Amino acid sequence: DRPTEPIFMKKGEDNVSFDVPPDYLIDRYKPLASDLQTRFPGDVTVPVTKLNNLPDLSIPLALGRSQPFSLFNPYHSKMASKLIEYFMAAKNVDELLSLSVYCRDRVNPHMFIYALSVAMVHRPDTRNLTLPSHAEMFPKIYMDSSVLSRAREEATVVQPGSRTPVEIPHDYTANHLDQEHRLSYFREDIGINLHHWHWHLVYPFDGPTNVVNKDRRGELFYYMHQQIIARYNMERLSNDMNRVSRLVNWREPIVEGYFPKLDSVVANRTWPSRHPNSTLNNLSREVEQISFDIEDLERWRDRLFTAIHSGFIISINGEQVRLTETGGIDVLGNLIESSILSQNPALYGSLHNFGHNAIAYIHDPDNRYLENFGVMGDSATAMRDPIFYRWHAYIDEIFQEFKSTIPPYNVQNLTFENVRVQSVEVSAAGVPRNQLMTFWQQSDVELSRGLDFVPRGSVFARFTHLQHTPYSYNIVIENNGNQRTGTIRIFIAPKFDERGLPILYREQRKLFVELDRFSQSLKRGRNEISRSSLSSSVTIPHEATYRNLDSNTSAPNSEGAAAFNFCGCGWPQNMLIPKGNAEGLQCQLFVMVTNGSVDQVEQPSSNNSGGAQCDDASSYCGLRNARYPDSRAMGYPFDRPARDGVNTLQQFLTPNMGAQDVRIRFTNRTVSVRNAANN
Ligand code: CUO
């Protein structure tokens, strides 16, 4: 709550105050210690145990409280890593609380929230606790900065309960003179940006090894971002735009500009913009201890391509490490990102992270204007900028290059014997068969946690986002063998390219967007399966992104609050399917059944304790503290180029697969928020 307020202040409606040992106060407040204890009496007082040894914060304190914090900056991520290490090492929850109380008023608030969140999702004793939404703690990095001053006014002038939600205009970062602005509803979606923030929280590239080293994390880095690009491309085709072009040439001006209109996290400055036709430069920024040349990026890229085509990388000891058919992608993911699991950072560098940095500092590469990084420098904001997708499309192509060096799946690799998909359809109430409906919807986000130094009580921002009518998949499967378990995999891709021509399989496979994956028991004979879009293994529920309001109180209802227990990582349900268009974007829905006994992954028994595993969105986020729950390559069966002779999806199909033409029809109407607040 209120990340820049001192810890001893009275909190929210709960009237919680912290009974803090006087030497925990920052020097400035120490003379006021006794006064402060009586000035903020709470209904609930949380006693904070005194630590025997206060932590040495010299490393994290190198970043000032009002400085911006960038995860992609190695200097900053090392500081955060130190903090994570302290939080992870705390012996119990009391000690963790004590430590965090001590750190909170000292270290940079953004770094503090990041490090504490990473620790909380990884510690066995806190991983079932609710993490507040990052957009509630730092609303200024998720929405138009003008909203915040209106929210402050509302909170200061109007009593809780009578406050009116502050409406965020639908179009606030540009107008349609900028073609890219057609996609702003996707790039600036709160849920999408929250997903990205959470993903990097669950999969940090730096930190204690036991936090970073997760099952197939390098592969998931590739797959989750590959899916973002596939989704973005489908969104572009929905809007009559070309697929995103890779940022191939780093010496040419970048045509896309971006003007975020956000306040930066702590310094109350406007977040820097990038003018159209800016050019990347060598970076030399003393303050952030970051300097590298564009040539370094080019060298790392060339070494990566050499490794891919030689079939091995050179480890730090000078040994050859083979890029195997199944494990190679994971090795590469860690190498390209790069994470601390990279097997040779000196040789292969940190192409992806440093690309983020080069772009983020494009407006001030040597800090002569004392300007901060642009939105590409923060995982909570990077997806707002069109350049994010050009950069990640480039990164993805390196992974695709590797996938094209391994043997394609043959028919036997794809078949599930005696299992046949008979038919596939989608249906939704009030919508023609095999059609999906999209429209706009308004939902509310609570802002008060992020309104430091203003009166308490809820204030909401009203946000317009894409939504679709919930639908079901109806799948008929014939099982001519004994009863067994199958894994149902559902994807969707556009059918036609920019010119209206059928997309060939070699390109279409990269456009397939995962919609769901689930286990299904198959009895002998005919199996009629119905599965709701709301159960998707890709998404988290709408309530995990937005608060629904009780009609009169303008307080979040209990259902909404309970839903916040979800783990945060996951594609927002409202963005499950792309926008489509008024005529109905023609797509192909793909369903495959694979052998569950092959797909199954043994989980170490020690990980079964601890309750919730955050299994709501396992396709893109994995399971918390467990292995990735599918033994196949991520993106299977579309992760590799097809066998010889396959030019179309139809030719790719084996009997255990099915395809169905569907249309996504968009209606330009806005459905108002459910249970709208008082007005
Ligand atoms: Cu998620 Cu580039 O990795 O932003």
User: Is 610 a residue whose pLDDT tops 70?
Assistant: no
Q: List pLDDT tens digits, range 219-231.
A: 999 999 999 999 9
CA distances from 384 to 28, 162, 192, 375 (A): 38, 33, 9, 7
Co-location of 437 and 374 in the same domain: no
Predicted confidence at residue 147, as pLDDT, reads 86
Co-location of 548 and 417 in the same domain: yes
Average pLDDT over residues 87-108: 95
* CA distance linking residue 652 with residue 644, whole number of Å: 10
559 inside domain: yes
Q: Which atom, in ligand 1's list, is nearest to the CA of 395?
A: 2
| CA 217 to chain CA centroid, nearest Å | 14
Query: b or e along 100-125 (b: 16 or more beta carbons within 10 Å of the residue's beta carbon)?
Result: bbbbbbebbbbbbbbbbbbbbbbbee
Q: Are 211 and 200 spatial neighbours (Cβ–Cβ below 8 Å)?
A: no
Q: Are 444 and 460 spatial neighbours (Cβ–Cβ below 8 Å)?
A: yes
Q: Are 323 and 335 spatial neighbours (Cβ–Cβ below 8 Å)?
A: no
Co-location of 394 and 438 in the same domain: no
Co-location of 508 and 657 in the same domain: yes
Calculate ∠ Cα 211-214-219, nearest 5°.
Answer: 135
Q: Is the CB of 356 under 6 A from ligand 1?
A: yes
Co-location of 395 and 416 in the same domain: no
Confidence of residue 33 (pLDDT cuts 50, 70, 90): confident
**Which residue type does 49 have?**
T
Which residues make Cβ contacts (< 8 Å) with residue 606, sequence separation at least 6? Answer: none
Co-location of 558 and 654 in the same domain: yes
656 inside domain: yes
Assign 3-class secondary structure to 177-220. CCHHHHHHHHHCCHHHHHHHHHHHHHCCCCCCHHHHCCCCHHHH
User: Is 563 a residue whose pLDDT tops 50?
Assistant: no
Q: Taking the CB of residue 351, how many other CB atoms lie within 10 A of it?
A: 23
Co-location of 504 and 626 in the same domain: yes
Average pLDDT over residues 629-649: 97
Cα(217) to centroid of ligand 1, in Å? 13
Confidence of residue 422 (pLDDT cuts 50, 70, 90): very high
Please tell me the total count of domains within the chain: 3
Cis peptide before 597 (omega within 30 of 0): no
Residue with tokens 């390196």: 398
Predicted confidence at residue 560, as pLDDT, reads 40
Predicted confidence at residue 266, as pLDDT, reads 64
Confidence of residue 392 (pLDDT cuts 50, 70, 90): very high
* CA distance linking residue 441 with residue 673, whole number of Å: 7
233 inside domain: yes
Residue 528: domain span = 411-448+460-601+614-671
Which residues make Cβ contacts (< 8 Å) with residue 172, sequence separation at least 6? Answer: 144, 146, 261
Co-location of 47 and 105 in the same domain: yes
Confidence of residue 425 (pLDDT cuts 50, 70, 90): very high
Q: Is the CB of 196 under 6 A from ligand 1?
A: yes
Co-location of 396 and 491 in the same domain: no
Which residues make Cβ contacts (< 8 Å) with residue 465, sequence separation at least 6? Answer: 185, 189, 190, 191, 440, 441, 442, 443, 574, 575
Task: Identify which has the larger pLDDT, 579 or 66.
Answer: 579
* Ligand 1 probe mutation, 223, 392, 394, most atoms within 8 A of CB: 392
Q: Taking the CB of residue 245, how many other CB atoms lie within 10 A of it?
A: 11
* CA distance linking residue 480 with residue 474, whole number of Å: 20
Q: Is the CB of 379 under 6 A from ligand 1?
A: yes
Q: Worst-scoring range by mean pLDDT, 54-68, 568-582, 664-678?
A: 664-678
Q: Which atom, in ligand 1's list, is nearest to the CA of 392?
A: 2
Q: Are 586 and 661 spatial neighbours (Cβ–Cβ below 8 Å)?
A: yes
Predicted confidence at residue 31, as pLDDT, reads 85
Cis peptide before 637 (omega within 30 of 0): yes
User: Is 549 a residue whose pLDDT tops 80?
Assistant: no
For the chain, give the number of residues.
679
Predicted confidence at residue 547, as pLDDT, reads 62
Tokens of 18: 């912290």
Phi, psi at residue 396, to the nearest 5°? -65, -35
Q: Is the CB of 382 under 6 A from ligand 1?
A: yes
Q: Which atom, in ligand 1's list, is nearest to the CA of 355?
A: 2
Q: Is the CB of 226 under 6 A from ligand 1?
A: no
Using DSSP, state whether 488 is helix, strand or coil. strand
* Ligand 1 probe mutation, 379, 399, 571, 620, most atoms within 8 A of CB: 379
* CA distance linking residue 195 with residue 447, whole number of Å: 18
In the chain, % of residues over pLDDT 70 = 92
User: Is 648 a residue whose pLDDT tops 80?
Assistant: yes
108 inside domain: yes
Q: Is the CB of 285 under 6 A from ligand 1?
A: no
Cα(138) to centroid of ligand 1, in Å? 19
241 inside domain: yes
Predicted confidence at residue 9, as pLDDT, reads 64
Tokens of 55: 């932590």
Co-location of 518 and 651 in the same domain: yes
Co-location of 218 and 333 in the same domain: yes
574 inside domain: yes
Q: 475 has which bridge partners? A: 424, 529
- Reported ipTM: 0.99
Q: Say which CATH number the domain at 320 has.
A: 1.10.1280.10
Q: Is the CB of 198 under 6 A from ligand 1?
A: no
Phi, psi at residue 39, to the nearest 5°? -75, -25
Of the candidates 154, 256, 337, 543, the residue annotated as catalytic is: 337
Helices and strands: H and E segment counts in the chain: 21, 18
Q: Which of 152, 676, 213, 159 is nearest to 448 (CA)?
A: 152
270 secondary structure, DSSP code: B
Average pLDDT over residues 139-159: 88
Report which listed range, 157-161, 541-545, 598-602, is most confident.
598-602
Helix (H) or strand (E) holding 413: helix 411-414
Q: Is the CB of 547 under 6 A from ligand 1?
A: no
Task: Identify which has the larger pLDDT, 491 or 46.
Answer: 491
Q: Are 442 and 421 spatial neighbours (Cβ–Cβ below 8 Å)?
A: no
Q: Are 242 and 232 spatial neighbours (Cβ–Cβ below 8 Å)?
A: no
Co-location of 250 and 370 in the same domain: yes
514 belongs to the catalytic site = no
Helix (H) or strand (E) holding 515: strand 513-522
206 inside domain: yes
Q: Say which CATH number the domain at 500 has.
A: 2.60.40.1520
* Atom 4 (ligand 1) nearest CA: 379
Q: List pLDDT tens digits, range 320-362.
A: 999 999 999 999 999 999 999 999 999 999 999 999 999 999 9
Which residues make Cβ contacts (< 8 Å) with residue 524, sequence separation at least 6? Answer: 479, 480, 481, 482, 483
Q: Average per-residue pLDDT in the chain?
A: 90
348 inside domain: yes
> Sheet of 657-671: strands edge to edge?
166-167, 460-468, 435-446, 657-671, 585-595, 484-494, 513-522
